[in-house]
Structure 1
Amino acid sequence: MKLVDQLPELLRQMEPQIVSWRRHLHQYPELSFQEEKTPAMIADILRELAFDEVRTGVGGRGVVGVLRGSRPGAVVALRADFDALPIQDQKEVEYKSKVPGVMHACGHDAHTSQLLGLASVLAKHREQFAGEIRFLFQHAEEENPGGAIQMVEDGAIEGVDAVFGVHLWSMFPVGNVYISAGPIMANVDDFVITIKGRGGHGALPEQTVDSIVVGSQIVSSLQTIASRNVSPLDHVVVTVGTFHAGDNNNVIADSCRLSGTVRTFLPETRDLAEQRLIEVAKGTAALMGAVAEVEYDRGYPAVINCDKESEIARQAALEAFGEERVLPMKPVMGGEDFSYYLGKVPGAYLFIGAGNPDHNATYPHHHPRFDIDESAMLVASEVLGRTALRYLEQHQS
């Protein structure tokens, strides 16, 4: 029997360990660029599995494990992230975070555990495939500039022919697989607008330039980028997430600060949105007698799945779960630094449903009560395993 056909049963045997790893990581989360115990745990497990190579500190805090088959062949990389978020865990479960103000609210604990489970299975059956499977355990996905670009710069995917990754998604029913070629996640840019007016007494507005009024006008005007500057057939989101000004109720603030995010897919739309945001902010402020300073920071590029690799992953999922559970993925405006891997080698990024009301797994990502149906991890492990083995089989030397 081929290894790919043995995967479901082999992974089922690993399920208690995968769940145990996930719950341990959930109890002891670590923030982006502060990960220490998590990568150490990952490296120890890979060494116990007698991986051919285990590199630590890749790009700073990442871990790369190399597993070579019985004979030469292609090189395929599988990626998982392992950082947490600065959110207080509000779930009442036995594996609730024990770190105040920090929790895994996006599923990265599960991403790591399910990839370790697959690594455990493949390490024991390496004689059954040709080529190399490279396991990328990445730090700091949640915080720009992100760990992916650092790992790429540190050689994590040198010599790799294709790269694949998955994201568990609590908004989708558990067990479904979602995959499409083309744009799948957005460009992620951030901005800060500082408005300088002229403060004064709240009873004498004519002597001031009210920075709060100017800021409010800018917030409203920025929405015209989507409604009047970009085609309705294109995608753009401009969100102002913070607005800080003033200290007293009878004082007109002399300055205020806005910050937010811009999400797009097309490069030309990204350029246009940046240009118009700066023009709108500065122009509106000048019109009202104030000055606006704009800091604009380009973050993660869009995740754009490659055609051939997406089809390989889709066929692998179809083999395992059938047409009813393998569905097209509509683009989402969230961001992912998996895009940096795709900027170097072809590949694809998939979504796995992990939501289930019966397991109280209905809250969105980054919510303080976020959780998953843990059975989704086996689905993710199997899809990644089948995809990697299918790719290696199709690209034998």
Structure 2
Amino acid sequence: MALPTLRPAVQALQPELVTWRRHIHKYPELGFREEQTAAYISQRLKSWGIPHQTGIAHTGILATITGEQPGPTLALRADMDALPIQEANEVEYRSCLPNTMHACGHDGHTAIAMGTAKLLQQNRQRLKGTIKVIFQPAEEGPGGAKPMLEAGVLKNPDVEGILGLHLWNNRPLGSIGVKSGPSMAFADRFQIEILGRGGHAALPHQTVDAIVVGAQIVSALQTIVSRNVDPMLPAVVTVGRFRAGDAFNVVAPSAEIWGTVRSFHPDVADLIPRRIEEIVAGICKAYGATYDFQFERRYPAVLNDPAMAELVEKSARQVFGPDAMIIPEMTMGGEDVSFFMNEVPGCYFFVGSANSEKGLDYPHHHPRFDFDEAALGIGVELFLRCIENYTGQTLNEMN
């Protein structure tokens, strides 16, 4: 794999990036509980002389690096939260906490943002404009971007553009994923409660079997994408939870079905919940059951601004050279960075982080997820190059 030559300042920073990332990985915290993580970040920002606000949306941080030369205001965003997963890796920095793990790369995102902030602060005499670094809680849920936005992190001074990145084990180290327009999907959630009538398993005629009703619903939901959605428009309907019954000889009186809907086009995002409820209502009526249906519109689709996507691609080609592996990445995964990008032009891009030769290629949200830490320096270099191109300056001679 062809890797870029990083500027000396980033090369020198690499050991610190690894140290920060491993500390955060070792002490993971779930959404809106990132107290130790926030304190760790704040201590370092303070030691570098970077003004910052803490406690935004519970645990979020906003750091502001003000250049000594006039210029635009650009924001960088990194998420800090972990997942409720028991880590299976046997490494020195494995999670110390049961059923809590950084299994999506947020520890790396945080380290990259910290490193970028440190180098910008050290070179603010050459920096044009202002860079706001947003350390956001609860991306995995219930969502920290919206409350940080409501707290005014894009104001005073007003942000003109925003960038974010995601370490990406779906692609090899040395690759970059970026495209204009839709990049990540609407991430919506539904809950269905089926209310039947319980009874003895040997006397089913006296009952309304919620499991049978639920099974019919789960099967029928699979026809929405195949028969109701334009086949040229991507969509996913997934049932992730089906719970019913307590005994082998009792007909279940109720059942719960939970799932997620992913799509890119607003019309599809509106069509699918309507069809879900129509299917649920029809099947329940046919079997004599009733239901409760709840649909939660969670994260909007991530739509990259064309000019900002072009900025990232240009920067990536400068970093990786003529043989740059740039992929027009598009995924059904969701991301609440979309709330920021609905307010100001932005680009959310992917930094390849998998290395199969080292066994660092498990997928995101897997209990053995880990990534090649060489991606940390690449992430800092990409952020710096994007800043240079956005503000029209060069920081190549950084301290």
With the shorter chain as reference, the TM-score category is: over 0.9
Which amino acid is 1:235 matched to? P
Q: How far did residue 7 of structure 1 move?
A: 6.3
Q: How far did residue 389 of structure 1 move?
A: 1.8
The question of whether the paired residues in 1 share the 8 Å contact of 2:75 and 2:133 is answered with: yes
Q: How far did residue 59 of structure 1 move?
A: 2.2
The question of whether the paired residues in 1 share the 8 Å contact of 2:69 and 2:126 is answered with: no
Q: Cα–Cα, structure 1 residues 231 and 216, in superposed 2: closer, same or farther, change >3 Å?
A: same
Q: How far did residue 60 of structure 1 move?
A: 2.0
Which amino acid is 2:146 matched to? I
Check if 1:81 corresponds to 2:79.
yes
Separation (CA, whole Å) in 2 of partners of 1:324 and 1:195: 55
Which amino acid is 2:80 matched to? F
1:33-44 matched pairs, under 5 angstroms? 33-44=32-43
Partner of 2:153 in structure 1?
A: 156
Partner of 2:348 in structure 1?
A: 349
Which amino acid is 2:217 matched to? I
Q: How far did residue 359 of structure 1 move?
A: 2.3
**Larger CA deviation: 198-207 vs 151-160:** 198-207
Q: How far did residue 108 of structure 1 move?
A: 0.4
Q: How far did residue 100 of structure 1 move?
A: 1.1
Partner of 1:184 in structure 2?
A: 183
Deviation string, structure 1 residues 28-62 (Cα, Å, up to 9, x no partner): 000111110111111111111112x2111122211
The question of whether the paired residues in 2 share the 8 Å contact of 1:282 and 1:293 is answered with: no
The question of whether the paired residues in 2 share the 8 Å contact of 1:179 and 1:326 is answered with: no
Which SS does the other structure have where 1:127 is aligned? coil
Partner of 1:104 in structure 2?
A: 102
Which SS does the other structure have where 1:115 is aligned? helix
4+ residue runs of structure 1 moved beyond 6 angstroms? none
Separation (CA, whole Å) in 2 of partners of 1:59 and 1:172: 32
Deviation string, structure 1 residues 340-397 (Cα, Å, up to 9, x no partner): 0101000100100000022221111000000000001111111111101210118xxx
Q: How far did residue 10 of structure 1 move?
A: 0.5
Partner of 1:60 in structure 2?
A: 58
Which SS does the other structure have where 2:102 is aligned? coil
Which amino acid is 1:266 matched to? H
The question of whether the paired residues in 2 share the 8 Å contact of 1:174 and 1:354 is answered with: yes
Separation (CA, whole Å) in 2 of partners of 1:329 and 1:211: 44
Q: How many residues align?
A: 388
Partner of 1:306 in structure 2?
A: 305
Which SS does the other structure have where 2:49 is aligned? coil
The question of whether the paired residues in 1 share the 8 Å contact of 2:173 and 2:352 is answered with: yes
Separation (CA, whole Å) in 2 of partners of 1:327 and 1:286: 51
The question of whether the paired residues in 1 share the 8 Å contact of 2:5 and 2:319 is answered with: no
Two-structure CA RMSD over aligned residues (Å)? 1.3
Q: Please, what TM-score do these two structures have when normalized by structure 1?
A: 0.96
1:222-233 matched pairs, under 5 angstroms? 222-233=221-232
Check if 1:237 corresponds to 2:236.
yes
Q: Which ranges of structure 2 fall in alignment gaps of 5 or more residues?
A: 394-399
Partner of 1:376 in structure 2?
A: 375
Q: Which ranges of structure 1 fall in alignment gaps of 5 or more residues?
A: none
Deviation string, structure 1 residues 87-118 (Cα, Å, up to 9, x no partner): 11100111111111111000000110111111
Which SS does the other structure have where 2:76 is aligned? strand
Separation (CA, whole Å) in 2 of partners of 1:7 and 1:123: 19
Separation (CA, whole Å) in 1 of partners of 2:18 and 2:275: 48
Q: How far did residue 151 of structure 1 move?
A: 0.7
Separation (CA, whole Å) in 1 of partners of 2:380 and 2:69: 24
Separation (CA, whole Å) in 1 of partners of 2:219 and 2:117: 50
Partner of 2:314 in structure 1?
A: 315
The question of whether the paired residues in 1 share the 8 Å contact of 2:6 and 2:377 is answered with: no
Separation (CA, whole Å) in 2 of partners of 1:15 and 1:141: 26
Partner of 1:201 in structure 2?
A: 200
1:1-397 matched pairs, under 5 angstroms? 8-51=7-50, 53-144=51-142, 146-158=143-155, 159-393=158-392
Which SS does the other structure have where 1:269 is aligned? helix
Which amino acid is 1:105 matched to? A
Q: How far did residue 206 of structure 1 move?
A: 1.4
Which SS does the other structure have where 2:299 is aligned? coil
Which SS does the other structure have where 2:392 is aligned? helix
Q: Please, what TM-score do these two structures have when normalized by structure 2?
A: 0.95
Q: How far did residue 207 of structure 1 move?
A: 1.4
Which amino acid is 1:279 matched to? E
Which SS does the other structure have where 1:299 is aligned? strand
Separation (CA, whole Å) in 2 of partners of 1:309 and 1:330: 15
Separation (CA, whole Å) in 2 of partners of 1:207 and 1:324: 70
